[in-house]
Structures are given as structure tokens and as C-alpha cells.
Amino acid sequence: MERDDMKSRSGIVDLLRFTAIVLMVIFHFSFDLNAFHLVSIDFFKEPFWYGLPRLIVSLFMTSMGASLYFSHGKKIRWSSFNKRLIQLIVCATVISVSTYFIFPQNWIYFGTLHSIATCSILALPFLRWSRWIGILGVLIIIPHLSGFYYYPFWSMAHKSMDYIPPLPWLGFVLIGMSLGHSPFAQWALPQNNFTSFITKVSNHSLIIYLLHQPILWGLVWLISRI
């Protein structure tokens, strides 16, 4: 969820982020409805609901990789990068601390924002090879998706609500970097009210990520009281 300079935006990045945000809101609203027993969904056994959050993370990671190249090219703007990294770390910490107290049995210790922050650092050395680095990204993803090999990573005993280790998700970041290098990334959204809305949602994706779930949870709680 890197934030691009408003003077030079990529339509592809904005569309990827916007799609991820919309799907995320739909997923969490459904999750909250299920938590309050207003609907009945098995998020682990039903293929659609099992795959949806993984699609959402894939979109976030791909957009982050494209934005990383689009924002920096082959020369890293360290002040901008460090500022965004600090924001991600702070927000990830807020999520960990808040879920620890609200959902102590399933608190998030390495979720999407933690992984985005980590992968943004891991991806930096590959910026100079961004044209072809997507091939490596695909090679990283295939073993995991095929079930042939699952990358080891530190984990805790409890089942986290959101557990996104760097691998294989770094692969989507690398694919996004190649996408950012491609001519498609230079495409700009046509100017109208709807695309302006898409751009605003994309540009404020981090704050939306943080606030949407508490708002949805409160809304569903109110619905459950009716």
C-alpha cells in the first residue's frame, strides 16, 4: 500500500488497491455477520471464502510491488520510503496490540501489514532488475500454490486471525515490480467522478485498512441488536 505522488499516478496501481479494498470490506463484513450469528459461513471449508482473503492479499502485494517501482524506479528515495515504512510498522503494531486485548486467542502477530512492511524491505535489492524479476516471483509462488513445498517461517502456538509470512507473498511483490516497469503501469485512469473516487480510496488505503473493521464491527453489532 505504498502511496504514490499525486502528480504521477498509475491507473493499474489504483485499480489493484481499490479492488483489494472493496473485496476486503466485503470479506470482513461477511466475517462480522458470521461472528454475530447473522449468517452461517465456514471460512475454512468453503472454497470461495477460503480463497477470497488470499486473493485480497495477492492484490495488495502486487500493487505494493508496482507502486514501489513506480515511486522509486531504480533509485530509492529513502526519505519517502522510510516515512512509509515507519507508518506501516506503527499501524502493524497497533493491530497487534489491539487484537491482543480484543481477541487474545487469535491475536495478529504477523499479518498483512507486517508482511507488507517486511516485503517492501526485502524487495529493495531487486529494483534494478524489476523488468524480469517477476519471473522469480512466479517461481517463488508456484511451489506453494501447488502444495509441493511450504516455506518455513516463525509462528506462534495460537491460530492467528491474519497470518501472512513473507514467503510466498514476496513473489507477488516481485511480479508487481515487473508490472510497474511495464507500459501498463503508465496508463492513467480517465478523469471522471468514479475514477476520482477510485484514486481517493487508493490514496487513503492504509487508513481505510485500519478503520474499516472497527466501523463494520460496530455496524454489525447494532444490526444484531435490532
Task: Report whether 177 contacts 66 (CB < 8 A).
Answer: yes
145 vs 171: CA distance, rounded Å: 11
Domain parsing of the chain, residue ranges: 11-225
In percent, the amount of the chain with pLDDT more than 90 equals 66
Q: Range with the lowest mean pLDDT among 4-13, 15-24, 214-223? A: 4-13
Give the pTM. 0.89
The mean pLDDT value of the chain amounts to 89
Tens of pLDDT, residue by residue over 37-81, are 999 999 988 999 999 999 999 999 999 999 898 888 767 888 889
In this prediction, residue 77 carries a pLDDT of: 87
What is the structure's pLDDT at 44? 85
What cell was used for 76? 530509492
pLDDT at residue number 199: 92
For residue 4, is pLDDT > 80?
no
* DSSP symbol at 189: -
pLDDT of residue 8: 54
Q: 11 falls in which pLDDT band (50, 70, 90)?
A: confident
Q: Is 80 exceeded by the pLDDT of residue 133? A: yes
Q: Which pLDDT band holds residue 7 (cuts at 50, 70, 90)?
A: very low
CA atoms of 167 and 45, how far apart (whole Å): 23
Measure Cα distances from 45 to 42, 140, 144 in Å.
6, 26, 19
Measure CA 117 to chain center: 10
